[in-house]
Amino acid sequence: MPIMRTKDENKKEALFRATIKLVNEIGFASSSVSKIAKEANVSPSTLYVFFDNKEDLLVSTYVEIKTQLAHALLENFDDTLPIRDIIRNGWYSVFNYVSEHPDEAAYMEQFSNSPYSELVDKAVVEREFVPFGNVMVKGIEQKIIKDVDISILAAFIFNPLFRLANPRLCAELEMNEEKLEQAFGMAWDAIKL
Amino acid sequence: MPIMRTKDENKKEALFRATIKLVNEIGFASSSVSKIAKEANVSPSTLYVFFDNKEDLLVSTYVEIKTQLAHALLENFDDTLPIRDIIRNGWYSVFNYVSEHPDEAAYMEQFSNSPYSELVDKAVVEREFVPFGNVMVKGIEQKIIKDVDISILAAFIFNPLFRLANPRLCAELEMNEEKLEQAFGMAWDAIKL
DNA sequence: GGCATAATAAAACGTTCATTCGTTTATGTC
DNA sequence: GACATAAACGAATGAACGTTTTATTATGCC
């Protein structure tokens, strides 16, 4: 019979949000545990109830975001559609996620370009994206998509997208529906046979 | 009549290299001034002879790399070639630079995705890439390239390239001549009309 | 060779860091 | 409502931080 006070998951959520905000504003180097805790209205020591240490906080924040992104990608996933439509849906889903969550996207980019990324269990993260990868394999088999490594295909589909949707990298550029369809057209032209 | 001891520019060079190495290995957060100085075999205070502060060191390192990259890009620049060949030469020049200088490339990516990037005078950096941008404008005018913002074009040409040439992001994938020509073909398909 | 000067270094500065400690507070069960 | 428990906290920890101060070394010119 466990008698215990329950953890307040709002605090974990607040710590995630504080981490994302601070790391985007002042970077990994200046984002101290005490600043993050203060931003989340939590005591520094309380942070250690939810995370083993600072590193664990940063890595967990990344995995949390990446999982959200995977769910967004697979939300409208429909295996029965033509391959181009499946990929188009996925592309738009990711674009929408990145547009609606610019802070999460910026954190993701900053994190994955830093040495912290080596601490992530990649198998766990990539597992979420398998269905989408399978579609590309199917597209190759059906001679619809160029016969190239999946990671090359993914690079052409998603890398420009992240740049375009990221205000830090493309501040001057605001996307509208026309530009968006153009951009997907370019991504598709790159990978289609 | 100036009587003075000359600065040892080798030390500035060593500090650049130490910064790149350490930031890639342990990130901005852990790369302290004293560690960088030790890696460069220099006293911490000597660092301040060459740079105003840590921030200046990090930004200067980035600008130095970006300038090197621009020179690599423009080295084989030949205005008289067909547009596709000009862009192909530039693409290969950048790929070669990134392949031969993976540490510099990784630093560049990590830096430009961090808040430090806001400290860079973008006009100074972008000026170096103007000739290449002009080629793309010419390509649009001649109806060879899609009529899209230059930053969208650049995103499709260079973003996948950085990912493919970066061992941190594509560890499992080794590029050979065939894959390379495939990859450029994809980039060109994306932007060509 | 000696002097002026800046490059260089070692040590010290106050501050902030990540983490832990000791205590208090809130909650689920009886 | 009282008890047991873990959540939550503020304060304290020593280490490391970026930078400055102070002292020494090496160099170019007379």
Residues contacting B18, CB < 8 A, separation 6+:
B36, B37, B39, B40
Given a cut of 60, is residue B1 above it in pLDDT?
no
Task: Indicate if the pLDDT at residue A172 is higher than 70.
Answer: no
Going by C-alpha positions, the residue among A72, A112, A76 that lies closest to residue A96 is A72
B142, pLDDT greater than 60: yes
- Positions on chain D within 7 A of a protein C-beta: 3-12, 16-22, 25-30
Q: Which nucleotides of C are covered by protein (CB under 7 A)?
A: 3-12, 16-22, 25-30
Compare CB distances from B110 to A114, A162, A179 and report the shortest one's residue: A114
Q: Phi first, then psi: give them for residue B53, nearest 5 degrees.
A: -165, -175
Give me the phi and psi of A101, to 5 degrees please.
-130, 60
B43 beta carbon to strand C: under 7 Å: yes
Mean pLDDT of chain A: 91
State whether A170 and B151 contact (CB < 8 Å). Answer: yes
For residues A5 and A16, what is the distance between their CA atoms, to the nearest angstrom? 22
Q: Which among A110, A115, A151 has CB closest to B173?
A: A151
Report CB contact under 8 Å: B25, A116: no
Model confidence at A1, in pLDDT bands (50, 70, 90)? very low
Write down the domain spans for chain A. 79-191
Is B186 within 8 Å of A191 when comparing Cβ atoms?
yes
**Closest-CA residue to A84 (of A135, A33, A42):** A135
Residue A54 CA to residue A110 CA, distance in Å, equals 16
Cα torsion A146, A147, A152, A154 to 10°: value is 60
User: Distance (Å) from CA B22 to C1' C8?
Assistant: 23
| Residue B96 reports pLDDT greater than 60 | yes
3-state class of A173 per DSSP? coil
| pLDDT value of residue B176 | 82
3-state secondary structure of B192: strand
Nearest nt to the B46 alpha carbon by C1': C8
Q: Which residues contact B36 (CB under 8 A, 6 or more apart)?
A: B15, B18, B19, B22, B47, B57
Identify the residue whose Cα has the smallest distance to the C1' of C29. Answer: A3
What is the arithmetic mean of pLDDT over B119-140? 94
Helices (H), A79-118: 83-100, 102-112
Q: Which of A24, A159, A163 has its CB closest to that of B115?
A: A24
Specify the range with the lowest mean pLDDT, choosing from A31-40, B85-94, B154-163, B180-189.
B154-163
Domain B75-191 classified CATH 1.10.357.10?
yes
B149–A173 CB contact, under 8 Å: yes
Q: Is the CB of A31 under 7 A from strand C?
A: yes
Question: What is the total residue count of chain B?
Answer: 193
Mean pLDDT of A97-113: 94
On chain B, the residues whose CB falls within 8 A of the CB of A148 are 179, 182-183, 186
Rounded to whole angstroms, what are the CA distances from A173 to A63, A110, A163, A170, B42? 29, 20, 11, 5, 43
> Which chain B residue shows the shortest CA-CA distance from A181?
B148
Q: Which nucleotide is nearest to B8 (CA to C1')?
A: C7
Q: How far is the CA of A173 from the C1' of C29 (A)?
A: 59
Q: How far is CA A165 from CA A41, A92, A106, A189, B117, in A?
A: 30, 11, 10, 19, 17
User: B6 CA to chain A: closest CA distance, Å?
Assistant: 34
Q: Which of A26, A151, A172 sits opposite B115 (nearest CB)?
A: A26
What's the pLDDT score for residue A30? 97
Residue A152 has what pLDDT?
85
What's the CATH number of domain A79-191, 3.30.310.50, 1.10.357.10, 3.40.190.10, 3.90.1150.10?
1.10.357.10
